[in-house]
Amino acid sequence: MSSFTIPIGPQHPALPEPILLKLEVEGEYVVGVDVDISYMHRGIEKAMEYRNYIQNIYLAERICGICNVAHTVCYTLNVEKLYDKEIPPRAQYLRVIIEELNRIHSHLLWLGVAGHEIGFETLFMYVWRDRERVMDLIETITGNRVNTAYTTIGGVRRDITSDIEYKIRKTMDIVEERTKYYKSVAAAEPTIIARTKDIGILKTIDAINLCAVGPLLRASNVKNDVRADAPYAAHDEVPFNVITYPYCDVFSRILVRVDEIFECINMIRYCLDHLPKGPIRIKLPLKPPKGEAVTRVEAPRGELLHYVLSDGSEKPYRYKVRTPTLANIPSLCRMLTSSGDYIVKIADVPIAYASIDPCLCCTGRVQIVDIEKNKKWIWSWEELKEYSKKEFKKS
C-alpha cells in the first residue's frame, strides 16, 4: 500500500498562525502526522534576559494576544513569589475577574472560528457580534481591548467603581442569555452534530499518557483543572465546577467550552458580591532576592507554566514559558492518525485541528506527494476546506 505525504502550510483566512502539518496518507485515510512549528519562533526567552522585570510584563503579554491576561497573571504571580510578600486580597479578586472575562472572550472567539471551519458562517458572525460586548467591558475596565497589562508586580493598576460594577453585571446577564441560545443551537443542530460527532477522537488513556491539558483533556472525561488542583490568586475562595464530558470527540469539546462560559459568569458574579475592600497595589523594589519560582495558571487553552531563576539583579537569569498548545501537540498527532478501527479522512483534518484551539497561526499550504507516481501538487487551506465540505455533502 503506497503512502503519500501532504504538508499543510501558510495561509488561512480564519485564524492565522503559520504551522506546517505533514500528513502521510494512504488513499483517503491519514496514517501519520508530523508537525513543524518553527514559523512562530521569535526568541522571547532570550530577549527576556536583556530586559528588566517591569519591561518583561509587556513582552510576556505579547506571547499570545488572545490569552494575554493569563500570561500577565502568571508572570506577576511568579515574580511575586521571589519577594515572598503578601499581595492585597482586593487585587487578587480583581485579577480573577479580568482573567474570567478573558476566558469568556476566548471561548466565544473559538466558537465562531469552529463555526467558520464547518462552513457555518452565520454562527461566526453572530458570536463575534456578541463578543464585542465583552470587549467593550474589558476596554472600560482596563483601557484597551487586547494586550491590557492590567496586572503589575505588586497588584493591579486600576480599580473598579460602582458604575463599572453595574455595567459588568448587566453585560453578564446579556452574555448568559445569548450563550444559552448558542448551546441550544450547538447541541441540537443536525449539521453541527453530523460534522463533529465521532471526529477527532482522543481516548482517555491516550490523553493521560500524552500529557494533554485544558479543555482537550476535560472533553476526554478526565477531571483536571489547575484552578481546582493547585489554586492561585483567590481561586481557593471562589467556588466553581470542573466541566467534563465523556464523548472524547469534537462535539464534546464544543460542549465543554460552552459550559465553561457559564461557570465564568458565575465566578464573576461571586467575585463582585464578595469583593474585599482595601488597597490594590503594594510597592516592591526593582531587584528581587535570589531564588527560583514556578507558577501554573489555567489559560483558556490549558495549563500554562512560567519558571524564573533570579540571581539578585534587575534582569532575570533564565525565564522559561511553556504554552498549552505545545503540550497538546502529541495528542493532536495521535488524534489525526488512523489505527485499527479508527479511521481519519483528509476531510476531517480542518475541524479536528481547530478543535484543540491552537494558539498557533495555521497558515496552511497542503502539498500532496504521491510517492508511487512521483508527482507533487499543492493545495491551499481554502481548497482543503472546500474538499472537506464537498465530501460531507456527498455522504
Partner 1 sequence: MGIINWARSRSPWIVHLCTGACNGCDIEILAALTPRYDLERFGVLLKGSPRHADIFIVTGPITRQMKDRVVRIYEQIPDPKFVVAVGTCTMSGGAFRGCYNVYEGLDAVIPVDAYVAGCPVKPEAIIQAVAALVKKIRSG
Partner 2 sequence: MNDEEILNKLREVFKEKIIESSIPRKNIVNIVVPKEFYKEVIKFIVENFNIPHIQTITGIDMGNEIQIIAHLGRSITINVRTYIDKNNPQIDTITDIIPGASFYEREVYDLLGVNFIGHPNLKRVILPENWPKGVYPLRKEYKPEHPKPLRGV
Rule CB under 8 A: which residues touch partner 2?
Answer: 36-38, 41, 43, 45-47, 50, 81, 208-212, 224, 229-230, 294, 296, 303, 305, 307, 309, 317-318, 320, 322, 326-327, 329-330
Q: Given the rule CB under 8 A, which of 72-80, 251-259, 289-297, 374-382 is the region that contacts partner 1?
A: 374-382
Q: Could you say whether residue 147 binds partner 1 (CB under 8 A)? A: yes
Q: Which of residues 90-129 bind partner 1 (CB under 8 A)?
A: 109, 125, 128-129
Q: Could you say whether residue 261 binds partner 1 (CB under 8 A)? A: no
| Least CB distance to partner 2 at residue 287 (A) | 20
Q: Which of residues 220 and 363 has its CB atom nearest to partner 1 in the complex?
A: 363
The single residue among 6, 66, 160, 265 that binds partner 1, judged by CB under 8 A, is 66
Q: Given the rule CB under 8 A, which of 180-188, 197-205, 257-265, 379-387 is the region that contacts partner 1?
A: 379-387
Question: How far apart (Å, rounded) are the C-alpha atoms in residues 18 and 345?
Answer: 22
Q: How many CB atoms lie within 10 A of CB 65?
A: 11
Partner whose binding site includes residue 352, from partner 2, partner 1, none (CB under 5 to 8 Å by kind) = none
The single residue among 3, 5, 22, 44 that binds partner 1, judged by CB under 8 A, is 44
**Residue 319: phi, psi to the nearest 5?**
-130, 130
Q: Could you say whether residue 272 binds partner 1 (CB under 8 A)? A: no
Partner whose binding site includes residue 208, from partner 2, partner 1, none (CB under 5 to 8 Å by kind) = partner 2
Q: Could you say whether residue 377 binds partner 1 (CB under 8 A)? A: no
Residue 53 C-alpha cell reads as 522585570
Residue with cell 519560582: 293
| Least CB distance to partner 1 at residue 174 (A) | 14
The single residue among 27, 28, 34, 47 that binds partner 1, judged by CB under 8 A, is 47
Question: How far apart (Å, rounded) are the C-alpha atoms in residues 1 and 241?
Answer: 49
Tell me, letter by letter, the H, E, C secondary structure of the chain. CCCEEEEECCCCCCCCCECEEEEEEECCEEEEEEEECHHHCCCHHHHHCCCCHHHHHHHHHCCCCCCHHHHHHHHHHHHHHHHCCCCCHHHHHHHHHHHHHHHHHHHHHHHHHHHHHHCCHHHHHHHHHHHHHHHHHHHHHHCCCCCCCCEECCEECCCCCHHHHHHHHHHHHHHHHHHHHHHHHHHHCHHHHHHHCCCCCCCHHHHHHCCCCCHHHHCCCCCCCHHHHCCCCCCCCCCCCCCCCCCCCHHHHHHHHHHHHHHHHHHHHHHHHCCCCCCCECCCCCCCCCEEEEEEEEECCEEEEEEEEECCCCCCCEEEEECHHHHHHHHHHHHCCCECCECCEHHHHHHHHHCCCCCCCCECEEEEEECCCCEEEEEEHHHHHHHHHHHHHHC
Q: Could you say whether residue 62 binds partner 1 (CB under 8 A)? A: yes
Q: Which of residues 65 and 279 has its CB atom nearest to partner 1 in the complex?
A: 65
Question: How far apart (Å, rounded) are the C-alpha atoms in residues 56 and 61?
Answer: 9
Q: Which of residues 332-361 bind partner 1 (CB under 8 A)?
A: 359, 361
| Least CB distance to partner 2 at residue 74 (A) | 13
The single residue among 5, 14, 32, 140 that binds partner 1, judged by CB under 8 A, is 14
Residue 292 C-alpha cell reads as 527560583
**CA-atom Rg of the chain in angstroms:** 22
The single residue among 59, 185, 228, 326 that binds partner 1, judged by CB under 8 A, is 59
Partner whose binding site includes residue 125, from partner 2, partner 1, none (CB under 5 to 8 Å by kind) = partner 1
Partner whose binding site includes residue 129, from partner 2, partner 1, none (CB under 5 to 8 Å by kind) = partner 1
Q: Which of residues 224-253 bind partner 1 (CB under 8 A)?
A: none
Partner whose binding site includes residue 230, from partner 1, partner 2, none (CB under 5 to 8 Å by kind) = partner 2
Q: Could you say whether residue 65 binds partner 1 (CB under 8 A)? A: yes
| Least CB distance to partner 1 at residue 125 (A) | 6
Interface residues toward partner 1, by CB under 8 A: 9-18, 38-44, 46-47, 50, 58-59, 62-66, 68, 109, 125, 128-129, 132, 135, 145-147, 359, 361, 363, 380-382
